[in-house]
Amino acid sequence: MQKPLRTHIAVLGSATALFLAACGGGGGGESVPVAPTNPPTASASADQTQVAAGTTITLDGSASTTPNAGTLTYLWTIEKKSENSTATISDATVARPTFTPDRPGEYVITLVVNDGTASSSTAAVTFAVSNPDPVAVVATEINQLVGTTVQLDGTASQPPAGGSAAGLTYTWELTSKPADSTAVLDNPGNAQPRFSADKVGTYKATLVVHYGARSSAPVEVTIGIGGLNSIPVADIIANIEAAVRGEKIELDGRNSSDADGDALTYRWSVGSKPIGSNPVLENADKAQASFVPDFAGSYTLGLTVFDGKAYGGKSLSVKVVKPEGAPNTKPVARITAPWSKTWEAERDTSISMTAAYSYDIDGDNLYTGREFTLLKAPEGYDAATNFKAQTFVGTHYGDYEVQLRVFDGTEWSDPVTATYTVINGANRPPQAAAKVMGSSGVVGVGRTVTITAEGSSDPDDNRLTYQWTMLDKPDGSQATLTGGDKVHATFVPDQPGRYVFDLLVTDEHGYPSSDYISVTPVRLTVQAKTSNNAPIGRISMSGAPYTSEQPMLVGKSGNTVQYNAAADSTRVDRWNSMQFQPNGYDPDGDPMSYLWTLSTEPSGSKLEHPNDYFCAATGSNSYPGASVISLEDWIAAGLNIRNWTCSQFSFAPTATGRYVLDLAVSDGIDIAGPYSMEVYASTREDYPNLLLENLQQKHDWSNNDQQLVFNSVKDDDVRIRQEIFPFVGTNSTEYAANAVIAGANLIQTGFKNGFRGDFVVRSFRLSAIGGDYTVVNLKASDADGVFSPKFVGLQNNQLIKKGESVDFQLVWPIDRLPVLDADGRVDDERRNLSWSFDIQEKPQFTFNFNPSIGVF
């Protein structure tokens, strides 16, 4: 609650004279005794103390009294008010001011009176403020930069007293914007719509929230948009038309520019290059650089410019040839360890001999000229059977020495050798993983940054050693790395820009995560900034909102998931779930990280594996394998935590009640949020209202039968799907909106194969769990007057008593073939058939199925 500072009034005048007299002021003589002062008495009341938000209240202090002769003055103060309230007193110095509470909650207003001699004690009056209508609540002022995305936020809006915030709907309108702006709201019905601020100036938006038939008063947001830093533009001038191996190429980035006139720093780099190449790049941090290619082949050069806030980049492809008349150069053979393996292997497994990183500085193709020879093997080894061109099977324990030569079409390379060891318990390579602790990679200048290798792993649980290397830092930086041989290393960025690190981990057998040939070290780039624009986010939910009136039914979905490819691996049951996306945006384009928190859930709540995305405790839905953690433990860990760090999130509740999901979004410097969403779940027994379910029973095309057949789902099948009122059954993603089948040609075939009669479009069930419900305004119609669609199993004015369920079908009687065009397809489609009804006791519970139907 907001508590404004009280204004205290010091009363001087006659009291000051008495103080001076008591202290001997005003001349000599004997002290004059002062009679004690009787203070006035404040009396505070109001014409009403229990009101609805928006009601004007008249405060009354006129009954205040004083035993002295002075005239009373008044000071009213709001001591307590509802959170987000901006209510004020009309005139805090009169006897009968007015006050209009704008938010529901408790308010306390105090009164102090003064008669010129003394002030009274405080009198107070307390108000209980409710809201029969919803209340729109927004931040009234937003300031951002041009070119950024503005997110409005109405999530603090409140439902009527006793209602659920999940039942609120929103109507936003962008009422004012600068001249020539083309800004529009992306989703005016979202609690947090966005627009792109394309012009500098002032924008205004209004919000009205609705709860059923009730609506709030509109509230206005003023958005001030200022100028934005321009992204610098990199430009490269270079003579690359006749690039020759060994000859210097001058690179010039002086034409790079910044529209704001900011000074630029430069970084040149070599991206792709021929295998084995190690070219010379001079003055890589200057506007002018040079490059000496050492191999014939293709290179990619890059220039990145930085204006202190943002980066711009450009790349250049260079085709290098060998010098004219130069003699052939002998190729170089190299053997590297098999992909994702060491030089050790288990017995009777296939071992790949890798020559892919052999090279030729003339750029000649070596792929067809590779010769592996077995020089040494354990006694008794059958090379003729087990040693092939590029693989072999180690059937005996021991060392296998292999020789490689490669051919460039003119010469063979000198031979090289490698030794493979077949051993029980073969060592496997460690995996390096680097990240910024607590950040997605963006940090603030002057803050201590921890880079961590704690995500690195070894499949054999070997102890690891660590080697961090700082490869680059901004111009003028004096930053150094501390703890370069530790799992956690630190540095303090002292200049804005990029700090680049490599990480190499080595297991206790001395095998590294990188050989610098086939596997490069893990690279980590950290962006340091002196100023930052905070990210924004909003929780988007896939599918229907689940409110206290219509909670999600808990239970198994009927689907399973298998995390291992093995046929005998465990299949895990999936449960009905709610899926959420963070919908994050960062004005600076910084990478974002997310923290989901289930902050409120019913007593005794537990989670199950969701039907949608499963966010594990590892921060993803990728199971790392049994060598790291058992599948059961991995799933249990993800279900037992209440904070998750995935970019999307789903959860499957099992208990009836209210759940609150919070989302915080970080760009590494600032944290936005938490953004919250309130949802509800329920068992079937606890469901509070009329439940609508899709029975998944309809006519559909059968490839086996080559005709339309009725697909019936068992009554107890868990694939029966809950639907939410108001139900609108129009789905344009499938032909005939799921009413018929997925293709007009199948319609033709289906009906030509003899289908006539009642075509079941959909089947539903109504279950009266929370009370008695009456179906009214039941109607099935054809706008063209050609067909007579009907309900089967449901009648107008039908009463469904508490505890009863009614199954019904939407039926389309068919008695003719469709009209076909010259290609034999249905010639048109339109939404001409509809089935609808209302629920008398719940005006917002409406049903309207209006599919697209081929014209007959």
Mean of the per-residue pLDDT values for the chain?
84
* Residue among 349, 345, 337, 508 at smallest CA distance from 424: 345
How is residue 748 annotated by DSSP?
H
pLDDT digits (tens, 9 = 90+) for 728-756: 876 432 233 333 433 444 444 445 555 56
Q: Note the pLDDT of residue 843.
A: 85
- pLDDT at position 291: 92
**Tens digit of each residue's pLDDT (9 = 90 or more) over 257-306:** 998 888 999 999 998 999 999 998 999 999 999 999 999 999 999 999 99
Query: Which phi and psi (to 5°) does residue 826 adopt?
Result: -55, 130
**Total-model pTM:** 0.63
pLDDT for residue 684 is more than 80? yes
553, two tokens: 């039914």
pLDDT at residue 541 greater than cutoff 60? yes
Confidence bin at 822 (pLDDT 50/70/90): low
The token duo for 72 is 């009373």
With a pLDDT cut of 90, the percent of the chain lying above it is: 49
Over residues 7-17, the pLDDT tens digits come to: 332 332 333 33
| DSSP codes joined into one string, 132-148 | SS-B----SEEEEETTS
Cα torsion through 680, 681, 685, 688, rounded to 10: 20
Whether the predicted pLDDT of 714 surpasses 60? no
Q: Any long-range contacts for 321-325 (C-beta under 8 Å, 24+ apart)?
A: 321/243, 321/244, 321/245, 321/296, 321/363, 322/244, 322/245, 322/296, 322/361, 322/362, 322/363, 323/244, 323/245, 323/246, 323/247, 324/244
Q: What is the reported pLDDT for 397?
A: 96
Contact 131, 203 (CB under 8 A): no
Contact 55, 38 (CB under 8 A): no
Q: Residue type for 427, please?
A: N
- The pLDDT value recorded for residue 536 is 80
Q: What number of other Cβ atoms are within 10 A of residue 721's Cβ?
A: 16
pLDDT at position 311 over 90: no
Cα–Cα distance measured from residue 815 to residue 828, given in angstroms and rounded to the nearest whole number:
18
Judge whether 131 and 53 are in contact, CB under 8 Å. yes
How confident is the model over 485-501, as pLDDT tens digits? 999 999 999 999 899 99
Comparing 199-203, 385-389, 425-429, the range with the smallest average pLDDT is: 199-203
Closest of 241, 100, 89, 214 to residue 160, by C-alpha: 214
389-427 pLDDT per residue, tens: 999 999 999 999 999 999 999 999 999 999 999 999 999
Which pairing describes strands 219-226 and 141-145: parallel, antiparallel, or unpaired? parallel
Amino acid at 752: K
